[in-house]
Amino acid sequence: MSKNIQAIRGMNDILPEKILYWQHLENTMRRILNAYGYQEIRTPIMEKTELFQRSIGEVTDIVEKEMYSFNDRNGDSLTLRPEGTASCVRASIENGLFNQTQRLWYMGPMFRHERPQKGRYRQFHQIGVEAYGLQEADIEAEMIFMTARLWRALGLKDLALQINSLGSAAARAAYRDTLVSYFSAHPQPLDEDSQRRLHTNPLRILDSKNPEMQPLIAAAPRLLEHLDSDSLTHFEQLQQLLTAAGISFQINPRLVRGLDYYNRTVFEWVTTALGAQGTVCAGGRYDGLAEQIGGKPMPGVGFAMGLERLVALLEEQENPNLPDPNPHAYLLMAGDKSLQTGLLLAEQLRDALPNLRLLSHCGGGSFKSQFKKADKSGAYLGLILGEEEVLQGRIAVKYLREDKPQESLLQTELAAFLAAYFKLC
């Protein structure tokens, strides 16, 4: 067994059995993005390592220990992208997209070397959405409306929206210092994780799950009280827009996000149905990022959703409302000339009915074994072409899922029959 070569740990094959969920999710989101005027962008899955170091932040977990980095043959350090925002900003700078506002989206695999567990894999997939050049909270609201629309379209309930504001970069940095001195003044009760976070991401300490830390956290200075007034106004505007749209949300002062580039708005859609990995979609504003990467200052807002996690939610649903993958008809062929007649007939049907799902039997065999395959394929009708039918220019139609007697049609009538029966156009 293990003599065989296996897939890389944490990197999964998505098999035909599951692909319907993926396609449904992707198609639904594509449709919605299109309706809001967002355009797709495709960037390489590898970038120079420096791009991620500069955008995500040197001391974040992602950069410090989770990136798939290696040296190219010419010595450049390259990295499989751990997220999409940095590439998207880079591509926009490089191709001059920042001359006007942009609404972009992308979809694809991301890579992070973490220990796999439910809802967390080393190659995972995201749909990411970014908007550039927009300063007001209306764009954040639009994005949240869009995600809420997706949940509705997919029938996903039990997703809760949490929002927070980190303030301006300056306010956030000042608050960070305040927090560090607060926690440094009480070093005793800080657990090991929090000690580390003190240097990496002190805001993260507020999110600790350790019960012993709670009293200390409760007494800590509050981020919302340290917001600059512009950010506060911005945050209030967002809340107002959400309320007006009837989208309920929760302000979570502990919501800080792990990547360094966020300022002002951050938000997450969370669920309790997926165990420890409850965040299904998350994002925020990153006004300083473009400059950090070397472009001109350009406000940005974006979010990303984890496709594996959403697929897991869809799979738990009772009525996922997936498109029917079963063939409409299965063509059985046996006897002299039936193969040639049958395959030609199949092509004519496909010409006439582009939406027909028709499976032609291949590989010969008795009618009996062909019927077994027809049944197994899930097809609704068996189209039977034997010697007799070939001679008479007819075809037999057997209902495989209904208790109705078999019929015999002229081959020339078949397309019209199928169109009517399946309401195809």
Which H or E run includes 284?
strand 279-285
Select 119 or 167, whichever has its Cβ closest to RNA.
119
Helix (H, G, I), strand (E, B) or coil at 68: strand
Cα first-last separation, the chain: 49
Select 276 or 425, whichever has its Cβ closest to RNA.
276
CB within 8 Å of 113: residues ≥ 6 apart = 65, 66, 67, 68, 122
Q: Report the nearest approach of RNA to the CB of residue 100 (Å).
A: 27
Select 98 or 262, whichever has its Cβ closest to RNA.
262
Q: Report the nearest approach of RNA to the CB of residue 394 (Å).
A: 9
The values of phi and psi at residue 214, to 5°, are -60, -45
Select 26 or 66, whichever has its Cβ closest to RNA.
66
Q: Report the nearest approach of RNA to the CB of residue 232 (Å).
A: 24
Burial profile 391-421: b = 16 or more Cβ within 10 angstroms, e = fewer: eeebbbbbeeeeeeeeeebebeebbeebbee
Select 118 or 222, whichever has its Cβ closest to RNA.
118
Select 73 or 115, whichever has its Cβ closest to RNA.
115
Tokens at residue 373, please? 């395959």
What is the number of alpha carbons within 13 Å of residue 87 lying toward its C-beta? Answer: 24
Q: Report the nearest approach of RNA to the CB of residue 276 (Å).
A: 3
Helix (H, G, I), strand (E, B) or coil at 394: strand
Q: Report the nearest approach of RNA to the CB of residue 413 (Å).
A: 17
Please, where are the H alpha helices in 47-168? 49-56, 61, 85-94, 138-154
Q: Report the nearest approach of RNA to the CB of residue 280 (Å).
A: 5
Tokens at residue 377, please? 């394929």
Under 8 Å between Cβ of 253 and 235: no
